[in-house]
Amino acid sequence: MILRRLASSRQGLLGMAILSVFGLVALVGPFLVGPIDRAGASPSLLDPSAEHLFGTDRAGRDLFVTNVWGARISLLVGIVASVISMVIGTLVGIAAGYLGGRWDAWLMRFTDFFYVLPTLVLALVLAAILGPNLTNVIIVIGLTSWPGTARIIRSQTLTIRERMFVDRARAYGSSSLRIMRRQVLPNVFGLVMANTTLTIAAAIFLETTLSFLGVGPRDSYSWGRILEESFSAGALTLGKWAWFVPPGLAVVLVVLAFTLIGGAFDEILDPRLRSRGGGSGAPDGHAEAAPAEDVAGAPLAGRV
């Protein structure tokens, strides 16, 4: 249902189209192309041909196969790391914003601490300490990318907290925890989702960077690692464009796709903007018709 609404926005549609291609490659691609070649399976540094679509790397591995597996790893890192970051960021943001006072002060100082540390440097250090395997890289990215989310969610929570329905929920006996869960969370959820898709883009980018700098996962091939190997082999000067263009382009496209979807998400998760798209939860059409006009007058409806 959400997907259909996502498709009704042009940028959402484009983002989804790009993403579904890569998603499909990541999910079923590895089964079709088989395992990554062992070193020396083919002659090294071949140019693209019918047999080797993207040519081979210096160790003689087929680069098309490696790139297909890279899609799986890059997306996995991006999504899992973002979920970690989203959960931490949302919990910290809502707690700080809603509870206020001392809670707010301490939680936000804690957030600021992470915020001022350059993410890349922190991730580099952590990855070097923990050891460069896939799980650690995911954890490192998750733990370093939440402060932005926390700040955004906190500021949104601050405005929600002052709304009448929060007072009313308190009046009929909701505890603070329940208000955060039932009143605040649903109201910041659109923002959380929008932010998560953006975080995924950033996480994929960060993973690529870490790999490129040599502290990415050594136990699996991501796009970043392919780029790193092409770079250290001097693929650019060798004119082996097929070694670095496909993974580079793939990263750019996936990051773009998530950014587009992130922008579209914000609108569609707001029920006030939902009515005209059809496919809303209400089965009775009559109720939809008239109030949809009200929506046009609502301040949020003005956006493109």
Partner 1 sequence: MNPALLEVQELVVEFHVQGTALRAVDGLSFDVGAGEAVGLVGESGCGKTTTALAIARLLPENGRIVSGSVRFDGEELTTLKRGPFRRRRWKDFSIIFQGAMNALNPVQRVGDQVVEPIRLHEPATTRRQAWKRVGELFEMVGISRDRRKEYPHQFSGGMRQRVMIAMALASRPRLVIGDEPTTALDVMVQAQILELLERLRRELGLALVLITHDLSVVAETCDRAVVMYAGQLAETGTVEQLHRRPLHPYTARLMGSVPDIGGVRRLPEGIPGQPPSILRPPSGCRFHPRCDHAMEVCAEMYPARRSFGPEHAVHCHAVSEEGRIQDPAALPLIPSARALAAHDPDAEGLA
Give the amino acid at 285.
Answer: G
Of 128 and 298, nearer to partner 1 (C-beta) is 298
Closest CA to 131 of 122, 140, 119: 140
Tell me the closest approach of the beta carbon of residue 189 to partner 1, in angstroms. 7
| Token code pair at residue 287 | 């109720």
Spatial separation of the C-alpha atoms in residues 110 and 104, rounded to whole Å = 10
Tell me the closest approach of the beta carbon of residue 232 to partner 1, in angstroms. 50
Tell me the closest approach of the beta carbon of residue 284 to partner 1, in angstroms. 6
Could you count the other beta carbons within 10 Å of the beta carbon of residue 225? 24
Of 118 and 283, nearer to partner 1 (C-beta) is 283
Tell me the closest approach of the beta carbon of residue 101 to partner 1, in angstroms. 10
Tell me the closest approach of the beta carbon of residue 123 to partner 1, in angstroms. 34
Of 49 and 176, nearer to partner 1 (C-beta) is 176
Of 43 and 173, nearer to partner 1 (C-beta) is 173
| Token code pair at residue 13 | 């549609």
Q: In terms of C-beta distances under 8 Å and separation of at least 24 residues, what long-range contacts does 111-118 make, across chains too?
A: 111/147, 111/150, 111/151, 112/147, 114/144, 114/146, 114/147, 115/147, 115/148, 115/151, 117/144
261 near 19, Cβ under 8 Å? yes
Of 16 and 188, nearer to partner 1 (C-beta) is 188
Spatial separation of the C-alpha atoms in residues 293 and 303, rounded to whole Å = 15
Chain center to CA of 126: 21
Tell me the closest approach of the beta carbon of residue 281 to partner 1, in angstroms. 6
Of 236 and 282, nearer to partner 1 (C-beta) is 282
Of 61 and 274, nearer to partner 1 (C-beta) is 274
Tell me the closest approach of the beta carbon of residue 303 to partner 1, in angstroms. 16
Spatial separation of the C-alpha atoms in residues 288 and 283, rounded to whole Å = 9
> How much is the CA Rg of the chain, to the nearest whole Å?
23
Q: Which residues bind partner 1 (CB under 8 A)?
A: 163-165, 167-174, 178, 182-183, 186-187, 189-190, 270-272, 275, 281-284, 287-288, 291, 294-295, 298
